[in-house]
Structures are given as structure tokens and as C-alpha cells.
């Protein structure tokens, strides 16, 4: 575990330290597109954050290769090299898109080629466990098609959800944390070394996201762009493929005891089929809804619009930060709920807890006007906007001896319908 933590910290540190210089490079290179109709931000913001994330990935793999235990992953498996090859290709395509806005079909072709490169080097699905059937071995073509499909779907799901500051990086970090716990348990609890590459990929992915998030939280100073969203989507898919298609369920020796106990014990075998779906459940749902919505309107499935889930949260009255936190909440609920169920499928408390937390989430969705405020003792740990708002409210109360309306505090008198635009421009000025 210590080597995983070291790899995670090194990856996060390299990503964090490089993001500042990458931002300056993006400004000089002109990777600051004009504001589009579907954009939420009010000022041109540099992209190319994926450059820092890619070098963080390289640093994590390099460090892991020189550690005592993790170096065995590189000796016994070719999957880390396959990941690096596919990541380099998809990252290069993303960089070109951030700068020159390449066609969507070209990006799709590049995604398929990157997935094919990983398949050729051994990162592919060899078999899948099916309930009631058992382990089904796949032919080479079946494994290749299934692997490419999973990679492309995951990349585009993450890319679609990258619409608010800190949203994609935070959701992928949550998914990577849940997936790391699952893969680590498969490795150490059952002694299956084939799960070690997936654990390494998840730890590095967490480091990439954690290192980039401080620069990308609202108001973002830099966007990851397609060079970052497609990269973390590919790394997430690589971990899912490694566990789903490389770990042999028969090695778990779960067929013992009564039939009921065997059913409960077989849950970890079938969870690889569910876990890749749960960790991208919300992005995948957003992707499917977008395709259906655009096709129904007679538009291209690749045509951009403002109908994504995070856009709808903003439309019903949630603030930018609140919409992101709500998406975080439901992502964590789905991912860690599936993880808890894989550990103890017979516990009814897990189901009841998920239902209770889902009810809390629905209540949060119905309270868009509620503004959370940090307590005094926690003001040093929250973003400055919460501290400024509290200070402004207290100053206004002292002057007027009456409760201050938060909307009147934030919107100048006479701002009219353009008040929101003025607020957005002011908060993004540095």
C-alpha cells in the first residue's frame, strides 16, 4: 500500500507543478478558444491541461517501475507499456484538437486506433464471467471488438461530462478510488497478481486528477481539454479491461459450502461486469441521453448542445459549485455502493444505506436555492468565495441591522437581466 501511495503522490505532485507552466504555454500557443453558446464560463480560458496530466502519468509509471513490489507488474505483464502507448496516441490527438479543433469523426478514429494499439500489446478482454453460464472464453476478434467498444464508450462518456469546472476530474477521481479498492482487494484478498496492473492504473489516475483539480476548481484557471478528458477516460477504461478480462474467476476458489453461500461468494466474480458500468454510470447515462436527444431532433450525435445533466442542474437554479457537488455525490453513491455490495452481498444494511442516501440526494436536487455556508472553525479549509460571502453578509447585517438578501448582495442595483453575466465576469477576473 505504501508504494501505491508514493506513486499516487508523485503523480499528483508532477501534475500539479506542471499545470502552471502548461497554462502559460497554452496562452502563448493561442489554445484559448472563443466563448461558445454552450459554454458556461464567461472569459476565454486556456486548455491543454492534459499535457500536465500526461507527464504525471509518465512520472507515475516511471516511479512504479523502480519500486520493489510494483516493479514486478512491469516484469510479469506488458499492460503498463500498452497503456502508455495508447495514452500517448490519444493524448496527441487531444492536443491537436485543443489547438486546431479537429473533426469529431477523426477523433473517433483516433480513439479506435489507440484502443487497437493496446489490444495488440496484450491489454484486451480474454474472457467474461456470465451469471448462470460461467467463464466464457472469447475469440481474438470478440475480445478485440469488446475492448475497443469499452474504450471508446468510456472516453466519450468522460469527454461528454467535462462541462463544468472540476466536474470530470472529480468524478473520475471518485471512480478511480472505488476501482482501486476493488482491484486491491482482488489482489491481496484472493492472491491474484493479475489484478495488480489495474490497481496501479487506478492509483496513477487518482494522482492525475488530484494534481489537476486545484487548478480546475471553479473558477477554473485552465481546462483539461480533450487532451485531458480523453486521456483519463482511456486510463479508466484500461483498468476496467485489465480486471474484467485478465483476472480468471476460477482462481478465486469460491465454489464451496451451500448453494446460497456460493451465490453470495460469487458476487466478486460478477462485479467486474458491473463495476466498469457503475464508475461511469452518470457519464454514460449523459452520453446515451445526448445521442437520443440529438438524433430525435434530427441533429448529428456529435453536435454540441446545452442539454447535458450539468447544464440542466444550472437551469433549475443550482450554482456552479453546487451542481458539481451534486454530480460528485451521485457518482460516489453508485461507485462505492457497488463496491460495498461486492464485499458483502448478503447485508441488507448496504441496500438500505444506498436507498437512504439516494433520498438525501433527491432532496438536494429539490433545494437549488439553498446556499451552504462553512462554520467559523472551517473557514480556513473552504474556498475563499464562501468566506467572502459570509463576511459580506455579516458586514451588511451590522450596517443595516437586518438580514441581507444574498441575491441583492451579489447583483448590483440596476444590473437587470445582465446581472448574472456581470457576476460571472467578475468572479473569473484575476
Q: What are the domain boundaries of the chain? A: 2-345, 376-427
The pLDDT of residue 232 is: 94
Give the phi and the psi of residue 229 in degrees, each rounded to 5.
Answer: -65, -45
The pLDDT of residue 247 is: 66
Q: Consecutive 10-residue runs of the chain (430 residues): their mean pLDDT?
A: 92 95 90 63 79 96 91 89 95 92 89 94 81 74 90 87 83 89 79 82 94 88 91 91 70 46 47 62 73 75 64 68 81 81 67 76 65 64 57 53 42 40 38
Q: Supply the Cα-derived Rg of the chain in whole angstroms.
A: 23
Under 8 Å between Cβ of 240 and 197: no
159 is in an annotated binding site: yes
226 is in an annotated binding site: yes
The pLDDT of residue 369 is: 55
The pLDDT of residue 256 is: 42
> Does the pTM of the predicted model rise above 0.95?
no
Buried/exposed code over 257-285 (b: 16+ C-beta within 10 A; e: otherwise) = eeeeeeeebbbbbbbbeebbebbbbbbbe
Rounded Cα gap, residues 159 and 166, in angstroms: 13
The pLDDT of residue 251 is: 58
Rounded Cα gap, residues 114 and 117, in angstroms: 5
Rounded Cα gap, residues 301 and 299, in angstroms: 6
Amino acid at each position: 500500500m505504501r508504494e501505491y501511495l508514493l506513486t499516487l503522490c508523485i503523480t499528483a505532485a508532477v501534475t500539479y507543478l506542471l499545470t502552471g507552466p502548461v497554462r502559460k504555454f497554452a496562452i502563448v500557443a493561442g489554445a484559448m478558444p472563443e466563448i461558445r453558446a454552450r459554454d458556461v464560463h464567461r472569459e476565454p480560458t486556456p486548455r491543454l491541461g492534459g499535457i500536465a496530466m500526461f507527464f504525471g502519468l509518465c512520472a507515475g509509471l516511471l516511479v512504479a517501475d523502480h519500486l520493489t513490489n510494483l516493479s514486478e507488474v512491469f516484469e510479469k505483464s506488458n499492460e503498463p507499456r500498452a497503456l502508455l502507448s495508447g495514452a500517448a496516441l490519444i493524448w496527441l490527438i487531444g492536443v491537436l484538437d485543443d489547438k486546431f479543433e479537429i473533426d469529431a469523426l477523426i477523433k473517433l478514429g483516433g480513439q479506435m486506433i489507440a484502443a487497437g494499439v493496446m489490444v495488440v500489446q496484450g491489454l484486451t478482454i480474454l474472457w467474461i464471467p456470465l451469471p448462470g453460464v460461467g467463464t466464457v472464453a472469447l475469440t481474438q476478434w470478440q475480445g478485440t471488438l469488446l475492448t475497443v467498444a469499452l474504450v471508446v464508450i468510456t472516453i466519450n462518456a468522460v469527454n461528454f461530462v467535462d462541462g463544468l469546472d472540476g466536474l470530470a476530474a472529480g468524478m473520475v477521481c471518485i471512480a478511480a478510488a472505488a476501482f482501486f479498492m476493488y482491484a486491491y482487494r482482488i489482489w491481496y484478498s484472493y492472491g491474484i497478481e493479475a489484478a495488480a496492473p489495474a490497481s496501479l492504473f487506478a492509483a496513477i489516475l487518482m494522482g492525475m486528477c488530484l494534481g489537476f483539480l486545484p487548478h480546475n476548481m471553479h473558477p477554473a484557471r485552465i481546462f483539461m481539454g480533450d487532451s485531458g478528458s480523453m486521456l483519463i477516460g482511456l486510463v479508466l477504461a484500461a483498468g476496467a479491461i485489465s480486471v474484467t478480462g485478465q483476472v480468471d474467476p476460477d482462481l478465486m476458489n469460491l465454489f464451496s459450502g451451500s448453494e446460497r453461500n456460493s451465490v453470495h461468494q460469487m458476487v466478486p466474480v460478477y462485479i467486474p461486469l458491473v463495476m466498469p458500468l457503475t464508475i461511469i454510470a452518470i457519464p454514460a447515462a449523459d452520453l446515451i441521453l445526448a445521442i437520443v436527444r440529438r438524433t430525435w431532433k434530427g441533429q448529428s450525435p456529435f453536435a454540441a448542445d446545452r442539454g447535458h445533466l450539468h447544464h440542466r442542474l444550472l437551469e433549475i437554479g443550482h450554482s456552479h459549485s453546487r451542481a458539481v457537488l451534486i454530480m460528485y455525490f451521485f457518482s460516489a453513491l453508485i461507485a462505492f455502493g457497488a463496491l460495498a455490495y461486492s464485499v458483502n452481498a448478503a447485508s441488507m444494511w448496504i441496500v438500505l444505506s444506498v436507498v437512504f442516501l439516494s433520498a438525501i440526494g433527491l432532496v438536494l436536487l429539490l433545494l437549488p436555492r439553498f446556499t451552504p455556508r462553512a462554520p467559523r472553525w472551517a473557514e480556513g479549509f473552504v474556498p475563499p468565495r464562501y468566506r467572502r460571502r459570509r463576511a459580506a453578509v455579516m458586514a451588511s447585517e451590522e450596517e443595516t441591522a437586518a438580514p441581507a438578501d444574498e441575491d441583492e448582495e451579489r447583483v448590483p442595483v440596476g444590473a437587470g437581466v445582465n446581472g448574472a453575466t456581470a457576476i460571472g465576469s467578475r468572479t473569473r477576473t484575476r
